[in-house]
Each structure stands twice: as C-alpha cells, then as structure tokens.
Amino acid sequence: MQLTLDRPKLISLAAGFTDNESLPVEETSRMLRLILSNARISRESLQYGSTAGDAVLRKATAERLKKADQPAARYDGNYKSDSVLITHGSQQFLYLMTECLCDAGDIVLVEDPTYFVYLGILQSRGVAARGIRLETDGLDLSDLERVLEDLKEKALLPRVKMLYLVSYFQNPSGVTTSARKKADALALLRRYEKHAGHPIYLLEDAAYRELRFAGDDEPSALTLSRDRVIYTGTYSKPFATGIRVGFGLAPEPLLTVLTRVKGNHDFGTSHLAQHIVRAALHSKAYQKHVGVLRERYAAKAAVLCRALKEFFPPTVNWQVPRGGLYVWAQAPCDTGQKSPLFQRALEKNVLYVPGELCYAEDSTRPIPQNEMRISFGGATETEMTEGVRRLGIALKQLS
Amino acid sequence: MQLTLDRPKLISLAAGFTDNESLPVEETSRMLRLILSNARISRESLQYGSTAGDAVLRKATAERLKKADQPAARYDGNYKSDSVLITHGSQQFLYLMTECLCDAGDIVLVEDPTYFVYLGILQSRGVAARGIRLETDGLDLSDLERVLEDLKEKALLPRVKMLYLVSYFQNPSGVTTSARKKADALALLRRYEKHAGHPIYLLEDAAYRELRFAGDDEPSALTLSRDRVIYTGTYSKPFATGIRVGFGLAPEPLLTVLTRVKGNHDFGTSHLAQHIVRAALHSKAYQKHVGVLRERYAAKAAVLCRALKEFFPPTVNWQVPRGGLYVWAQAPCDTGQKSPLFQRALEKNVLYVPGELCYAEDSTRPIPQNEMRISFGGATETEMTEGVRRLGIALKQLS
C-alpha cells in the first residue's frame, strides 16, 4: 500500500484497496445528515460508546448473520448481540483474538496460501504457523489430518490453539471452502483436542463473504458448532474502507476476555463510524450498495480475466473468480520479490503480490515460488488492462 | 463506563465522558459537508489511507505541537510529520508503544496515582509498574531518585523501559508537572541509563493539555530531548470522543516499529475520522471549539467546586482544578470499592472512581485507601450538584 501511495504512476494490481469510483459518497452523506440532524443520536454518535460496540449495531450484526446462515442456523446462542464485538475493521478482531488465545510459542494452523497480514500478526506475537494445503474447493482435509497427526507425534498439539480459515473468496487464492469441508475440519480438530488438552477453535475470516458475484452463499461455520467457532466479518470492504468498522463473534468466555483486551487497546470503535454503518443497515442503503458493488466487481473481474486471456502466455494458470477481489495465478517462472519478473514488472511500473509472501514460514514443506496475486479491487479497468499487458510482456520474455 | 450505560438513573461522577451538551454537532456536520461534496476528498476519505496516517494531518499535528512549544521548541527533528503516527485515540498509541517497547517482566515507572487504564495495559502485557510519588506541582523527584536507586541496587534497571507521565491536568489527580520537573526527571533517567544498558524513555501523555482553563501552558518534554521523549495527545477529548483520533510522536527507530505494529493491529485509523479532524483544524473550527470547551469546563468545574464546598464535610481535602476533567479528593474514611462509602454511594445512585484503582500494584509502598476521583466531564451541572449532595451525606455519616 505504501508503495502505491508514494508512486502515483504505478499501476497497482497488488493493493487490497476497494474500487474508488463506487465508494458510497452519496449514501454516507445521507446517513450523516440523518445522524447529525437528530438531537439525541447526533450527540450519542460524537460521544464515547461502550467498549463492545453500539448495542443496535451488535444486534443488527447478529440478526444479519443468522439470516444469512438460514436455514442452517441451528444454534441460537451463536447469533446473540452479546456474542458480537464491534472492532476497528476485522483486522483488529484478528489481532485481538490472537492476543487473547495465543502465547508466544503456540501454533496456529493456516491455509497454504493465506492472508499475509495475518501471518504478520502471528510473527509479531511469536506464534508459529503450520500451512494446510488448499484445493480448488477449499481446505485439503487429508493434509489437515496429516499435519495434526504429525503435531501429535511431536507432542506439539498442546501448543495448537486454532485453525485460521479465510473461507469465502479467500485472500489470496479466491477459493471458497464449503460448509461440508468446514464441518469435516471441525470434526478433525475435535478428534485431536484430547491430545491438546484444550479446545482447538476454528477462526473463520469471512471478510469477503458479501462480495460474491457468482454462485450461492455457503453457510458459515457458526452453523456447525456451539462452542468452537469464532467468526469475523467486516462492514468496511462491502461499504467504505475509510469508515473501518468490522465485527467478530466468539463463544464465552472468549468474548468477555476479548472485550477487556479491546478496552485496553482503544476503549471501543469510533462511535460515529458505527452510527454510519448502523444507519446504512437500517435504511437498507448498505444492502443496496452491496448489490451495486457485486455488479461492479463482477464487471471488473471480467475485464481482468479478458486481459489475462489476451496478454498472459497460456502457460500461466488462473481461475475465474466468483467473488472477492483477487485472481491467483501460477506462472512457469519465479515470481518472488527478488525474481527477474518482479523487478521487470516494477520497471514497467506494475505491482503484484508475490505468492511467496502468502505462505507461512513452515519448514515442513517448501514454499511455491511461482504464484502471484492480482487484484481487481483498486485499479480502474483501463489500469488493469494496461497493467496486465505489461506483466504479460515480462512473463513472455521470462518464461 | 459500562455501569453508567446500563443504569441510566445513576449519576456518574466517575466516567471519563466529555460534556454532552457542547459536542460539536454543527461543526462536524459542516466539516462532513465540505469533505463529502469534494469529488476527490470524498473518495479519499472513504478509502483506506496509509498506516501511519493522513499526510496532511500528520503535518498539521507536528506544526501545532511546535507552535504550542514555542519558544522552547529547539529540536526541529522532534516536530516532523515523519515522527507522527495517527492512532485510534491516544489510548491506542499507549498500547502500541507499550507493545513495542516492553516485554513481559519489564518495568514501567508510573505516577502515584496514575491513569488506571494504562495500569490495565501494563498488567495485560505482564509488565510491572513502580509508583513514583506525586506532589501538588508534579512528580516527586527525590522519590524518583529513590526508586531508581532501589532498582539499581536490586539489579533491576535493565528491565526499566520508561517513565509514564500524564503531565497536564493529570488523570486522576489534576496535577500538572512543570517543564522544569520534566527536565530534571529526564536527567535522572539519563543518569541511570548506563546501568540499564538501553535508553529509558519518558512517555508523556498530554491527553488533557488542551483542556486548560486557568494558568499558562507548559512546554512539552519534546523541548527537552532529541531522542528520549515519546509524546501522545488526542483530538478526541478536545473535539468529539465519538470521532476517536489521537496521535503520538516518537524518535526513530521507534516510530518505524510502531507503524509496523499499527499495521498488524488495524492497517490505519479510519480515514473519514482523520479527514474530519483535518478539516476542523484547517478551518479553525477545532481551535474555536477548544475555546468553547475551555469556558464550558471552567464553568462546570466551578459548579462542582461550589457543591463540594457546600456539601462535603470540611475534613475532605481537594484542589481547585485548572484544567482537565477531574477533581481528586482525600476523605477521612475508606473510599475503596468494598468500602461502606462506595456501597452507600451506589445505593444513592452515585458513582465515583475509588482512588485505589489508580495505583499500581507495587509492594514497595502501601496504596492510599481514602481518595476518590470526581469528574466534571460527563454529568450535567444539576447532576453534579445532586451527586455531590448525596455523596456528602454519605461522607458525613461515615467520617
């Protein structure tokens, strides 16, 4: 992101920025007029709130999730206001959760590849990561079992605290893990818990769930367990990243501990930002905007795919995305930060995310060196086409 | 805070809420109209920014501080944009700084009494605190020396990372530490550094600096050292706590590390919130509002003091505040959470902060049991008078 902000001529196919043209300027203005013209609400929104978040927004969040998970939402207790913590983006929830659950020396299971900023969180807290292979339809369960068995043999299961899953239109791979696979993964974790001596949680990161433009929604992991699933989502990417409101749900006693830690971090998320989201949900401006965004990203993804087809050599593999912000590609050459491809791309003022950054440091398996994440979020259609054209030239020269 | 939000009939003289009536509803509306009617700025404000914060706001922050510290602002390097990190309230800066600088088992020197949420941060991170006595004009330097000498004898100086000072209208005591005393404290820290083997920083928390309604401003500790002072302040309390924008300044390499940690926590503070503050500073709406608030709090403090004089028994001691949000009082009886006074106050639906909560767990000295923090921030004038009347009855019965 910093590079993008510093070099305005750079075409960034790397940054996780959202589409600039479709940001809800009108909607946000309208919400703010509503909020600030109301004598009571205006003052409330400019004053501190409670640490866990605005009560109305927590309730709306729980209810929306329950509705999204119907008819599979069998555990009422998973969808209570009291289970919801409002955070400064879902990123903050990931941080707080990891702080609460993991000590230095602990282990978190992650997907291979996974959200690289989460790897940064783990590293900063001295927590190790073990990568679990990802298939085109989600987590490779036999690999999960193999890793759990290996950890059991090495008597390391007591250090394993959770499995982190970016389960919808994964960042970076675009892969969605089905509810069936999530259930099987949970059952596997349960099976190994007796050797761990404590619960092994499934932390489901659903940041991209609402950015779906093809196929049907999958029920969340909250439909699968009363006491082993932690879920986080966001109102930022589907509405406005500049507002920065996310949320997470966790079973007790985790949520109480999380709320205390949130109190230490910042006392609670900006009340004004929460009120904007609350008003947008209430007025359906949010839901309408998500609809607009879905069409927008579908169109942008189509432009990107067309460019990939036209300019990339046929030796590069990639999947047509069904949601999210990313296309994940396998090249026939090295794509790393020090590779000729990355350097040549930079010379041509194009940036992508080298796939190697999305893999945990896990000495039990090699890290693929030939992948890249290409975003259709922030760049315009013209920029994407031009960026892919330039990247395609570099790829043809090097592969 | 939670108790206040849950029991609407309670008169809270405890919460650190700001005055509700003077919240800048009109000003915020005006700023938002400016921001959201501008084609470029509106999109910028609704999109991710950079982790360290909006460049214009960082610059304005550095410049305002330099101006406030004139003519003593001799170290230009202390007032650069690059030294500023924008945070989700100054609370978040305190957390990030402590995360960066302290390991579990380390020691931070704090004032006796000090900001109790900071004690919570230290505790949550396994960092010990040593209390330094506070006099009516600030830190007791001979006590600071005594504690440093004690730590040296016990070979604990290598664990001492910083002195945390709430130097303006301290929460909870209302005391301001003069620039002279800050200079002497820094010199003392320097003297003991060779036994520590690393820098011992002065972390100056200036959250209440702008809420001054009597006397002159003191230059900050940034005027005293090029490389040992960390400074944090906020735009929340002097404008709107619901917007939640604070900032901190630190010398390199601390600021780079801090920014990386901030990236892990949340990627950067809400861009919209930063734009509101930026616009308010640029248009001087902020400065004007601070002027209004100063008069408002001066009036509220006067009402509180009048009530204290009228209703409290003369055996209770307290100082007339010159800024901030609090009066600190010494009673002739126990004030703790389990004391008859606190219980009786709760029965009468009045809440204050028991002084004992504001002291570090530090076995080298006893914790005073007879103090209380009374806020003139959130309660209305009528509520304050009535709350103090009820508290006064309880005090007279028990002392």
Query: What is the 3-state secondary structure of chain A?
Result: CHHHHHCCCCEECCCCCCCCCCCCHHHHHHHHHHHHCCHHHHHHHHCCCCCCCCHHHHHHHHHHHHHHHCCCCCCHHHHCHHHEEEECHHHHHHHHHHHHHCCCCCEEEEEECCCHHHHHHHHHCCCEEEEEEEECCEECHHHHHHHHHHHHHCCCHHHEEEEEEECCCCCCCCCCCCHHHHHHHHHHHHHHHHHHCCCCEEEEECCCCCCECCCCCCCCHHHCCCCCEEEEEECCCCCCCCCCCEEEECCCCHHHHHHHHHHHHCCCCCHHHHHHHHHHHHCCHHHHHHHHHHHHHHHHHHHHHHHHHHHCCCCCEECCCCECCEEEEECCCCCCCCCHHHHHHHHCCEECEEHHHHCCCCCCCCCCCCEEEEECCCCCHHHHHHHHHHHHHHHHHHC
Instruction: Please give, rounded to a whole number of angstroms, the shortest distance from the CA of B332 to a CA of chain A.
Output: 32
Identify the pLDDT of residue B4. 59
Tens-place pLDDT, residues A53-83: 999 999 999 999 999 999 999 999 999 999 9
Q: Is some CB atom of chain B closer than 8 A to the CB atom of A317?
A: no
pLDDT of A370 > 70? The answer is yes
Identify the pLDDT of residue B51. 96
Distance set, CA A399 to CA A309, A339, A357 (Å): 16, 12, 21
Which class for B125: exposed (0-12), middle (13-18), buried (19 or more C-beta within 10 A)? middle
A with B: how many residue pairs have Cβ under 8 Å apart?
170
Q: Is B332 helix (H, G, I), strand (E, B) or coil?
A: coil
Cα-Cα-Cα-Cα dihedral sign, residues B221, B225, B229, B235:
positive
Distance set, CA B285 to CA A349, B45, B129 (Å): 41, 19, 40
Tens-place pLDDT, residues B93-105: 999 999 999 999 9
Cα-Cα-Cα-Cα dihedral sign, residues A368, A374, A375, A379:
positive
Cα dihedral B284, B286, B289, B295 in deg (nearest 10): -100
CB-nearest to B46 from A24, A120, A260 is: A24
**Contacts (Cβ under 8 Å, ≥6 apart) of B238:** B210, B211, B286, B289, B290, B293
A44 and B244: CB-CB below 8 Å? no
pLDDT of B339 > 90? The answer is yes
Residue A41: closest CA among chain B residues belongs to which residue?
B25
Strand pairing report for B128-135 and B107-112: parallel
Identify the pLDDT of residue B399. 78
How many CB atoms sit inside 10 A of residue B335's CB?
A: 25
The percent helix, strand, coil of chain B (3-state, each to 5) is 45, 15, 40
Query: Cα separation of A49 and B6, whole Å?
Result: 12
CB-nearest to A89 from B36, B267, B272 is: B267
- Specify which residues A231 forms β-bridges with: A204, A249
Tens-place pLDDT, residues B300-310: 999 999 999 99
pLDDT of A168 > 70? The answer is yes
Residue B89, CA atoms < 13 Å, CB-side half-sphere:
23
- Specify which residues A372 forms β-bridges with: A329, A354
Provide the token pair at B170.
């301290």
Residue whose entry in the numeric block shows the structure tokens 């960034």: A12
User: Are the CB atoms for A273 and A245 separated by under 8 Å?
Assistant: yes
What is the average pLDDT across A211-237? 97
User: Are the CB atoms for B19 and B300 separated by under 8 Å?
Assistant: yes
Query: Cα separation of A317 and B139, whole Å?
Result: 66
Among B35, B270, B277, pick the best mutation site for testing chain A contact (most A Cβ within 10 A).
B270
- Give A399's pLDDT tier (boundaries 50, 70, 90): confident
B123, containing H or E segment: helix B116-124
φ, ψ of residue B112 in degrees (nearest 5)? -110, 100
Kindly report the pTM of this predicted structure: 0.95
- Give B142's pLDDT tier (boundaries 50, 70, 90): very high
Query: Cα separation of B161 and B111, whole Å?
Result: 15
Question: Which residue type sits at B58?
Answer: R
pLDDT of A159 > 90? The answer is yes
- Give B314's pLDDT tier (boundaries 50, 70, 90): very high
ipTM confidence: 0.94
pLDDT of A5 > 80? The answer is no
Angle between helices B271-282 and B285-311 (to 10 degrees): 90
**Contacts (Cβ under 8 Å, ≥6 apart) of A44:** A271, A275, B242
Residues in chain B closer than 8 A to A17 (CB atoms) = 47-48
Identify the pLDDT of residue B3. 62
Query: Cα separation of A58 and B352, whole Å?
Result: 29
Among A34, A88, A234, pick the best mutation site for testing chain B contact (most B Cβ within 10 A).
A88
Tens-place pLDDT, residues B232-242: 999 999 999 99
Find out whether the peptide bond into B238 is cis, omega within 30 degrees of 0: no
User: Are the CB atoms for A344 and A190 separated by under 8 Å?
Assistant: no
Among B17, B25, B26, B375, pick the best mutation site for testing chain A contact (most A Cβ within 10 A).
B25
- Give A383's pLDDT tier (boundaries 50, 70, 90): very high
- Give B6's pLDDT tier (boundaries 50, 70, 90): low
- Give A16's pLDDT tier (boundaries 50, 70, 90): confident
Nearest to A172 by CA among A83, A112, A234: A112
First to last CA, chain A: 28
Selected residues 87-106 of chain B with any CB under 8 Å from a CB in chain A = 88-89, 91-92, 95
Instruction: Please give, rounded to a whole number of angstroms, the shortest distance from the CA of A98 to a CA of chain B.
Output: 11
Question: Which residue type sits at A251?
Answer: P
Tens-place pLDDT, residues A74-120: 999 999 999 999 999 999 999 999 999 999 999 999 999 999 999 99
Query: Cα separation of B166 and B232, whole Å?
Result: 10
Identify the pLDDT of residue B281. 98
Provide the token pair at A156.
């390391």
pLDDT of A244 > 60? The answer is yes
Selected residues 19-48 of chain B with any CB under 8 Å from a CB in chain A = 20-21, 23-25, 28-29, 32-33, 36-37, 42-48
Selected residues 120-139 of chain A with any CB under 8 Å from a CB in chain B = 120-121, 124
Find out whether the peptide bond into B71 is cis, omega within 30 degrees of 0: yes
pLDDT of B1 > 80? The answer is no
Angle between helices B254-265 and A89-101 (to 10 degrees): 100
Identify the pLDDT of residue B193. 97
CB-nearest to A25 from B16, B46, B121 is: B46
Nearest to A68 by CA among A239, A237, A216, A273: A216
User: Are the CB atoms for B390 and B312 separated by under 8 Å?
Assistant: no
pLDDT of B2 > 70? The answer is no
Find out whether the peptide bond into A199 is cis, omega within 30 degrees of 0: no
CB-nearest to B272 from A88, A267, A273 is: A273
pLDDT greater at residue B2 or residue A394: A394
Residues in chain A closer than 8 A to B103 (CB atoms) = none
**Contacts (Cβ under 8 Å, ≥6 apart) of A293:** A19, A22, A211, A238
Identify the pLDDT of residue B17. 84
How many CB atoms sit inside 10 A of residue B236's CB?
A: 25
Which class for B59: exposed (0-12), middle (13-18), buried (19 or more C-beta within 10 A)? middle
Tens-place pLDDT, residues B159-218: 999 999 999 999 999 999 999 999 999 999 999 999 999 999 999 999 999 999 999 999
Residue whose entry in the numeric block shows the structure tokens 């020197």: B109
Q: Is B200 helix (H, G, I), strand (E, B) or coil?
A: coil
Question: Which residue type sits at B102?
Answer: C
φ, ψ of residue A381 in degrees (nearest 5)? -65, -40
φ, ψ of residue B99 in degrees (nearest 5)? -60, -40
Identify the pLDDT of residue B316. 98
pLDDT of A178 > 70? The answer is yes
A48 and B241: CB-CB below 8 Å? yes
Query: Cα separation of B38 and B282, whole Å?
Result: 15
Provide the token pair at B72.
């003593």
pLDDT of A1 > 90? The answer is no
Write down the mean pLDDT value for chain A: 96
User: Are the CB atoms for B278 and B86 separated by under 8 Å?
Assistant: no
Distance set, CA B114 to CA A120, A311, B104, B118, B170 (Å): 33, 63, 20, 8, 8
φ, ψ of residue A166 in degrees (nearest 5)? -90, 95
